[in-house]
């Protein structure tokens, strides 16, 4: 060690005086070293502050968005096809979803995250009459018949009717829905009239477009078409030979409509609940998204 005392050694008596400086110098040296460590901490902190933040929550959100978009697309693709067999449609959707899960999960596993999805879908059937004719069931001339039974939900129910085929109020074509809705469609010589017993609306447009979901007659609001029934309910056509035109309806539950009764049909996935789970080191996320099945056409 340096002989600090030597510089102050003026006589033999002063030999020990350097000790004070030695101790003080060492103390200050230690303090300075501590200060350096402290400043180092500050530098590190500032460094951390400017670094990008952890975005695992964004990964979870991104996964959710991808799944929702993809499942929507899978169902839409399958719905657009002509599905004569519900089992095949269901298999296609299940396989598509499994494939989606596999490819997405692989990507997330590489980053140490588990991304899972499960699909709980509801079947449906879309029935329609394309060419104008009366509304009796195909292959039969029954004027009164049940179009759909045990409907859980309906997302499309519209028709066009031609005035020349309609009759007067006393023998009007009637749509019975559930227990309390009865909508009569008739003509008075100039107008096509829609009447639910308390409200009515009329149009001169021929053929007239009746939308029972959006409650419109030729695009205009029609209070006579405001109906609501608690499921399950039936839809009956009464005096179906007293009207002519086209109709289309999409109802949930693939068994609600008997395929042989309608001119055209295709099975659809009505809607689905997708349960999405994302688990990574720091994020644990689970949500259930409702996906509407797209209309066939």
Shortest separation between residue 2's beta carbon and another protein, angstroms? 17
Residue among 25 and 231 whose Cβ is closer to another protein: 25
| Smallest distance, another protein to C-beta of residue 207, A | 39
CB of 128 to another protein, least distance (A): 31
Q: Which is nearer to another protein, 180 or 287 (CB)?
A: 287
The alpha carbon torsion through 168, 171, 172, 175 (nearest 10 deg) reads: 170
Which lies closer to another protein via its Cβ, residue 55 or residue 88? 55
The DSSP result for 161-178, as a single string, is E-GGG---GGG-EEEEET
Neighbour count for residue 32 (Cβ, 10 Å): 10
CA dist 88 and 110 (Å) reads: 33
Residue 114: helix, strand or coil by DSSP? strand
Q: Using the minimum distance from each CB to another protein, give the nearer residue, 61 or 76.
A: 61
Residue closer to another protein, measured from CB, 31 or 98: 31
Whole-number minimum distance, CB 100 to another protein, in Å?
A: 18
* Backbone conformation region of residue 201, classed left if phi is above 0, alpha if psi is from -120 to 50, else beta: beta
> Considering the complex, what minimum distance in angstroms separates the CB of residue 161 from another protein?
37
DSSP 182-230: EEEEEE-SS-EEEE-SS-EEEE--SSEEEETTTTEETTEE-GGG----P
Comparison of 54 and 142: residue with beta carbon closer to another protein: 54
State the nearest-atom distance from the C-beta of 116 to another protein, in Å. Answer: 12
Residues in contact with another protein by CB under 8 A are 8, 11, 13-14, 17, 20-21, 24, 27-28, 31-32, 34-35, 38-39, 41-42, 45-46, 48-49, 53-58, 60-61, 64, 273, 275, 281-290
Between CA 101 and CA 67 the distance in angstroms is 8
How far, in Å, CA of 90 to CA of 204, rounded?
A: 44
């Amino acid at each position: 060690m340096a002989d600090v005392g030597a510089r102050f050694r003026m006589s033999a008596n002063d030999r020990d005086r350097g000790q004070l400086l030695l101790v003080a110098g060492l103390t200050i040296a230690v303090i300075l070293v501590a200060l350096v460590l402290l400043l180092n901490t500050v530098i590190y902190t500032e460094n951390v502050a400017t670094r990008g933040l952890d975005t695992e929550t964004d990964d979870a959100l991104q996964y959710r968005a991808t799944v929702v978009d993809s499942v929507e697309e899978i169902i839409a693709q399958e719905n657009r096809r002509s599905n004569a067999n519900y089992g095949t449609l269901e298999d296609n959707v299940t396989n598509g979803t499994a494939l989606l899960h596999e490819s997405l999960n692989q990507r997330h596993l590489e980053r140490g995250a588990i991304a899972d999805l499960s699909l709980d879908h509801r079947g449906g059937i879309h029935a329609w009459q394309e060419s104008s004719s009366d509304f009796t069931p195909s292959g039969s001339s029954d004027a009164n018949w049940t179009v759909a039974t045990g409907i859980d939900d309906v997302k499309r129910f519209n028709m066009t009717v031609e005035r020349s085929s309609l009759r007067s109020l006393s023998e009007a074509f009637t749509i019975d829905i559930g227990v309390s809705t009865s909508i009569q469609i008739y003509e008075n010589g100039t107008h096509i009239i829609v009447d639910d017993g308390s409200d009515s609306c009329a149009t001169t447009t021929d053929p007239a477009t009746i939308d029972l979901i959006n409650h419109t007659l030729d695009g205009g609001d029609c209070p006579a078409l405001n109906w609501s029934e608690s499921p399950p309910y039936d839809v009956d056509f009464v005096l179906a030979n007293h009207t002519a035109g086209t109709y289309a309806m999409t109802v949930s539950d693939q068994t609600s409509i008997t395929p042989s009764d309608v001119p055209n049909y295709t099975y659809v996935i009505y809607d689905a609940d997708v349960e999405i789970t994302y688990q990574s080191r720091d994020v644990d996320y689970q949500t259930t998204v409702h996906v509407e099945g797209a209309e066939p056409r």
